[in-house]
């Protein structure tokens, strides 16, 4: 079956770095997406990886290893506004997004 695993919750300190991991098993693979969702709001797109390696976008970076079925989202210089849920989604061979349950990130001062 198809499956996405990511931690349920993580806590980090303002100004620090946090890495949110995601492992996936899908029928075929057409890329890995990360979205941010603040409480009570809709998800917003953060990144897309389809090739192995690290994609950097400001304070946020996303990494993909296709051979390991693994991705991570790296958040640097954490700010209080980064407190949100981070959703990992893998696109399968039918171009369907398989969603993880999300990782709730709590930032403490």
Residue span binding another protein (CB under 8 A) among the ranges 11-19, 41-49, 65-73, 76-84: 41-49
Query: What is the enclosing helix (H) or strand (E) of 21?
Result: strand 18-25
How many residues interact with another protein (rule CB under 8 A)? 21
Binding to another protein by residue 99, rule CB under 8 A?
A: yes
Contact 75, 82 (CB under 8 A): yes
Q: Is 50 left (phi over 0), alpha (psi -120 to 50) or beta?
A: alpha
User: For residues 69 and 102, which CB has a smaller minimum distance to another protein in the complex?
Assistant: 102
Does residue number 86 form part of the binding site for another protein (CB under 8 A)? no
Binding residue for another protein, selected from 67, 80, 95, 109, defined by CB under 8 A: 95
Q: State the nearest-atom distance from the C-beta of 57 to another protein, in Å.
A: 13
* Binding stretches for another protein (CB under 8 A): 30-31, 33, 35, 40-45, 48, 50, 87, 91, 95-97, 99-102
């Amino acid at each position: 079956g198809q499956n996405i695993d990511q931690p349920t919750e993580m806590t980090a300190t303002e100004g620090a770095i946090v890495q949110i991991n995601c492992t996936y098993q899908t029928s075929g693979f057409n890329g890995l997406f990360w979205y941010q969702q603040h409480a009570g709001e809709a998800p917003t797109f953060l990144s897309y990886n389809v090739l192995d390696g690290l994609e950097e976008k400001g304070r946020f970076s996303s990494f993909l290893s296709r051979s390991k079925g693994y991705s991570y989202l790296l958040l640097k210089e954490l700010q209080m506004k980064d407190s949100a849920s981070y959703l990992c989604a893998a696109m399968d061979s039918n171009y369907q997004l398989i969603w993880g349950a999300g990782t709730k990130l709590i930032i403490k001062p």
